[in-house]
């Protein structure tokens, strides 16, 4: 499990860098999940946060807070990097 005391010390010292570090870790894990066919691109829009926080060894606060926001940002980055275009339906 992530050392929350150290994380929040780092976060207080440099919030942007701390967030970027979380997003980078989540990007790597979500990209791996897509490459291993565990998740499809479409699944990145409807993530199971409990599952992803477990992979990342992060707390599962289920509060829509910082950790979930970083997972969302990572999912969007993976979609953009892999040039995923959702099908538009009329």
Q: Kindly report, residue by residue over 66-77, the tens digit of the pLDDT.
A: 999 999 999 999
* Position 90 pLDDT exceeds 50: no
Q: What share of the chain is helix, strand, coil (3-state, %, to 5)?
A: 65, 0, 35
Contact predicate 44/35, CB 8 Å: no
Give tens-digit pLDDT for 46-69.
Answer: 889 999 999 999 999 989 899 999
Q: Please tell me the pTM assigned to this model.
A: 0.85
Spans of all domains in the chain = 4-81
Q: What is the percent of the chain with per-residue pLDDT over 70, rounded to a whole number?
A: 93
Question: How far apart are alpha carbons 42 and 58 in whole angstroms?
Answer: 23
How wide is the angle at C-alpha 10 spanned by C-alphas 9 and 13, nearest 5°? Answer: 90
């Amino acid at each position: 499990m992530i050392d929350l005391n150290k994380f929040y010390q780092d976060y207080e010292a440099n919030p942007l860098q701390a967030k970027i570090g979380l997003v980078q870790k989540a990007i790597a894990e979500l990209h791996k999940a897509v490459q291993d066919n565990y998740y499809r691109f479409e699944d990145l829009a409807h993530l199971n946060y409990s599952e992803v926080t477990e992979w990342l060894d992060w707390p599962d606060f289920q509060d829509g807070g910082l950790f979930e926001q970083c997972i969302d940002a990572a999912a969007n980055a993976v979609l953009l990097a892999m040039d995923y275009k959702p099908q538009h339906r009329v």
